[in-house]
Amino acid sequence: KNEVEQSPQNLTAQEGEFITINCSYSVGISALHWLQQHPGGGIVSLFMLSSGKKKHGRLIATINIQEKHSSLHITASHPRDSAVYICARRGGSQGNLIFGKGTKLSVKP
């Protein structure tokens, strides 16, 4: 069983819609990451969260440490937001990340 679970696996939205991607994990963490992978394969770090909420442009990430749950929201979605969004938690002292399987988002014009 993957220690980091994401839902949904696939998501199709119309341009302008509000989007939510969920991430849950099974153990206590020091930090939770959200990353974006474009079709070419390159990965960009979006957020690193240890508590509360962070916002960058149209992206908002929240985390509830007690419930071991995080969400990534996209407001006013656009076709250029189409990508795979990946949640990852710290794996312990090594600093490596343990990744979810990703949510593939497709935003239609």
Partner 1 sequence: DGGITQSPKYLFRKEGQNVTLSCEQNLNHDAMYWYRQDPGQGLRLIYYSQIVNDFQKGDIAEGYSVSREKKESFPLTVTSAQKNPTAFYLCASARGLQETQYFGPGTRLLVL
Query: Would you tell me which residues interact with partner 1 (CB under 8 A)?
Result: 2, 4, 30-31, 33, 35, 40-45, 48, 86, 88, 90-91, 93-102
Q: What are phi and psi of 79, to 5 degrees?
A: -55, -30
CB of 87 to partner 1, least distance (A): 9
65 Cβ partners below 8 Å, 6+ apart?
28, 29, 50, 51
CB of 71 to partner 1, least distance (A): 18
CB of 18 to partner 1, least distance (A): 26
Answer whether 96's CB lies under 8 Å from 109's CB.
no
Name which of 66 and 94 has its Cβ closer to partner 1: 94
